[in-house]
Structure 1
Amino acid sequence: MSEVTHKPETAAPAPAVSARFAYGNETYAALVWRRFRRSTMGMIGLVLVVALILMAIFGDFFAPMDPKRTEIGFAPPDHIEFTAPDGGFSLIPYIYPIVETGEFDPITFQPLTGADRSNPTVLGFFVKGHKYNVLGLIPSDTHFFGSVDGRPIHFLGTDKFGRDILSRGIIGSQITLTIALVVVLLTSVIGTFVGIFSGYMGGRIDVWVQRFVEFVLAFPQLPLYLALTSLIPVTAPSNVFIAFVIGLMSVLGWAQLSREVRSKTLALARIEYVRAAIAVGSSDMRIITRHILPNVSSHLIVAVTMAIPAVVLLESFLGFLGFAVKPPLISWGLMLQDTGTFSVIGSYPWILSPVMFVLITVFAFNALGDGLRDAIDPY
């Protein structure tokens, strides 16, 4: 009887690992970043937010003119051309002053104007200009862009006192964004603490805390802002006025966030691992800091990015009414005071340029918040 020989079986090749399972070792932050990068609007918002923050920190470096320098009031924006004085194309931008040609319109009899190509202003990067201190410490006179020969340039025109609108808008971002970030920071801390405390403790404590929150929410905020800010004397220092405005916005702005955090805490307090931590005798502080707060942080990040545009709009509105920032400080709302009359807007439409800063800021933070919401929320 012949023996049957068995050949050793060859091990089958392991199946290729699918790309969707190749990220098993990624941290939560890496997963959120990978999902966030897929959002086009979110990435645009992130780039704009970073640019706004850098512009605010290094405002004097990016401002081409001294924001306090006065010239002829209500000068129109400069006309930039990529045309050399000889009429040919140039990679270097030029500004040609607009002068009267000596001729008149045959219908309106208004004097005609044109570009004076015999006296151009050359633009460049990293040029010399007015002196300032980088971060208030290092003296410098280098600016990111401006005229090479030191002539005044006005890309967005000037206001009624002849001050450059673009430079004032860049410097004004420091006050506006500072107010927005500090207010949102304070409201987030207060709202998070009150919301977690109320939702976790429950019972009578939760009832009384929520009645107080409803009392704060019942205040008509805008009339209260106008009434309280009008109590500050006109002679009060600017930093005192800003501190009062920040404190007032923070006191009235935390209540809504606390309601949202409370609802999250009520749901988290019934999850198994939280109940298990209570059963083994973990302290309330440990449960809040190790289990509840990390799960609420994703909602807080999105809420912060959504709250900053609201504070920017509120500051701009109050500044337009004269209740947020006082001269000599500069903010976007204060710059919009020049648009208070229809005749000024009709004759000098470029005075509305500060609205562009507000629109870009609101769009940037809203786009960033939408992208983070989609990336953080797994559902």
Structure 2
Amino acid sequence: MAPISDAGAGQWTLIWRKFFAQKVAVFCGGVILALYLVSALAEFLAPGLPDTSRAQYTYAPPQTLALFTPEGEFQLHAKGYSVTIDKEALRRTFVVDDSVIVPVGFFVEGPTYKFWNLFESNRHFFGPIDPNETVYLLGADRLGRDLLSRLVYGTRISMSIGLIGVCMSLVLGVVLGSVSGYFGGIVDTVIQRIIEVVSAMPTIPLWLGLAAAIPLTWSPLHVYFVITVIVSLLGWTGLAREVRGRFFSLRNEDFVTAAKLDGSSEPRVIFRHILPSLTSHILAVTTLAVPSMIIAETSLSFLGVGLKAPVVSWGVLLQDAQNIRSISTAPWLLIWPSLAVVIAVLSFNFFGDGLRDAADPYES
């Protein structure tokens, strides 16, 4: 039973009240908004450009920030490196040196970028005050590229693939599920057999086969689009079954019968009368589908058959952690991209669980 204070409140009001009562879901919703904000402002938020390499900083370890210099003066700075040469391994060894400081600040000038390919700017939210200096707060990769900048740019690709893929799956799942549940009979049988065939396919081998068929001569933009389509074509079946089941339970309700007697066409009954009553439930199921899209892109890119350089995504970043030498030399190449995937997936799962619980506000 709904609380007495909720008497007379509309369904959406009750849904939002129940959702905001779940602190974990609200917090995860904030994390998701922050990730998409990072995606939208990647060029401005990244300290540098993702493809800028400096061979002298190969596998440079993460630097730490400090507020006071060794002389006791207040100055936000990153601790620099001392470099030694390992004569046996024939490679550089970096040691964080407290006596070497790199002053950093906010809204500083840095490498020039083209924001959303609309206009050029060299203003960065955070970075070294001297544009000629470098700061590796999360370390550097095998080419001396800043992992933090690459992680920020990768957020845009990985998060947008999840969102766009779910939107495409949403259209397929809602349309086919609605038609299947409303008409039943032979239409329902045909659609359900299609769903069963798609669901029975082994996911990873099918992804690998489809992704491997992408011509190597295609541009990164074309590859991005095709990977999104591949992920979407395999992610709509669950939503279609959810919608079909709800249509079976609602198609004989009084409001549907009244709409038919009023002369409403079948498409109008489906999309104007029945489907809006499922909006909250569809929203919850769709939110829970985003993590699978993100993991699918990450898996394909990690295996080398998805997105490839120069495109930057979390899966592409994890390609650098495919061998033991890289992990032993630079464990941050595995830790930070993996942590980004875990945070995004857990946030969507908890947020989706909160929406699903709030979708039926009349349940106690």
Question: TM above 0.5, one fold?
Answer: yes
Q: Which residue of 85, 88, 109 corresponds with 1:128?
A: 109
Q: Are residues 112 and 340 of structure 1, via their aligned partners in 2, closer, same or farther at CA, if it must alter by over 3 Å?
A: closer
Residue 108 of structure 1: aligned partner: none
Which one-letter code corresponds to 1:64 in the other structure? P
**SS at the partner of 2:107?**
strand
2:10 & 2:213 partners in 1: Cα distance? 51
Alignment of 1:1-379 (within 5 A): 21-24=4-7, 26-71=9-54, 72-87=57-72, 90=74, 92-99=75-82, 113=95, 115-117=97-99, 119-150=100-131, 151-352=133-334, 353-378=336-361, 379=363
2:83 & 2:213 partners in 1: Cα distance? 50
Cα shift readout 1:51-86 (whole Å, capped 9, x = no counterpart): 111110110000011211111211100122233221
8 A Cα contact 1:165 1:354, kept in partner = no
2:202 & 2:96 partners in 1: Cα distance? 53
Which one-letter code corresponds to 1:239 in the other structure? L
1:227 & 1:290 partners in 2: Cα distance? 40
Cα shift readout 1:92-143 (whole Å, capped 9, x = no counterpart): 43212132699xxxxxxxx9956242x4112211111111122321221111
Which one-letter code corresponds to 1:174 in the other structure? R
Structure 1 unaligned segments of length 5 or more: list them: 1-18, 103-110
Which one-letter code corresponds to 2:230 in the other structure? L
Deviates more, 1:332-341 or 1:354-363: 354-363
2:82 & 2:94 partners in 1: Cα distance? 9
1:196 & 1:63 partners in 2: Cα distance? 43
2:118 & 2:284 partners in 1: Cα distance? 35
Which one-letter code corresponds to 2:264 in the other structure? S
1:310 & 1:113 partners in 2: Cα distance? 39
8 A Cα contact 2:81 2:94, kept in partner = no
2:246 & 2:28 partners in 1: Cα distance? 27
Deviates more, 1:190-199 or 1:267-276: 267-276
Q: Are residues 114 and 367 of structure 1, via their aligned partners in 2, closer, same or farther at CA, if it must alter by over 3 Å?
A: closer
2:278 & 2:291 partners in 1: Cα distance? 21
2:282 & 2:359 partners in 1: Cα distance? 11
Residue 5 of structure 1: aligned partner: none
1:70 & 1:139 partners in 2: Cα distance? 21
1:224 & 1:101 partners in 2: Cα distance? 48
Aligned residues: percent identity? 37
Which one-letter code corresponds to 2:253 in the other structure? I
Deviates more, 1:21-30 or 1:41-50: 21-30
In our comparison, the structure showing a higher alpha carbon Rg is 1
Task: Give the CA deviation at 1:144.
Answer: 1.0
Backbone CA RMSD of aligned residues: 2.2
1:27 & 1:339 partners in 2: Cα distance? 51
Deviates more, 1:338-347 or 1:308-317: 338-347
1:340 & 1:202 partners in 2: Cα distance? 49
Structure 2 unaligned segments of length 5 or more: list them: 86-92
2:43 & 2:350 partners in 1: Cα distance? 27
1:56 & 1:295 partners in 2: Cα distance? 32
Which one-letter code corresponds to 1:76 in the other structure? P
8 A Cα contact 1:101 1:114, kept in partner = no
8 A Cα contact 1:128 1:143, kept in partner = yes
**SS at the partner of 2:307?**
coil
**SS at the partner of 2:31?**
helix
Cα shift readout 1:236-274 (whole Å, capped 9, x = no counterpart): 211222222122222222122111110111011132222
Q: Are residues 129 and 302 of structure 1, via their aligned partners in 2, closer, same or farther at CA, if it must alter by over 3 Å?
A: same
8 A Cα contact 1:56 1:173, kept in partner = yes
**SS at the partner of 2:165?**
helix
Residue 88 of structure 2: aligned partner: none
1:371 & 1:122 partners in 2: Cα distance? 43
**SS at the partner of 1:93?**
strand
TM-score of the two chains, using structure 2 as the length reference: 0.90
Task: Give the CA deviation at 1:27.
Answer: 3.9
2:352 & 2:37 partners in 1: Cα distance? 19
**SS at the partner of 1:96?**
strand
Task: Give the CA deviation at 1:277.
Answer: 2.8
**SS at the partner of 1:196?**
helix
Task: Give the CA deviation at 1:216.
Answer: 1.5
1:172 & 1:123 partners in 2: Cα distance? 23
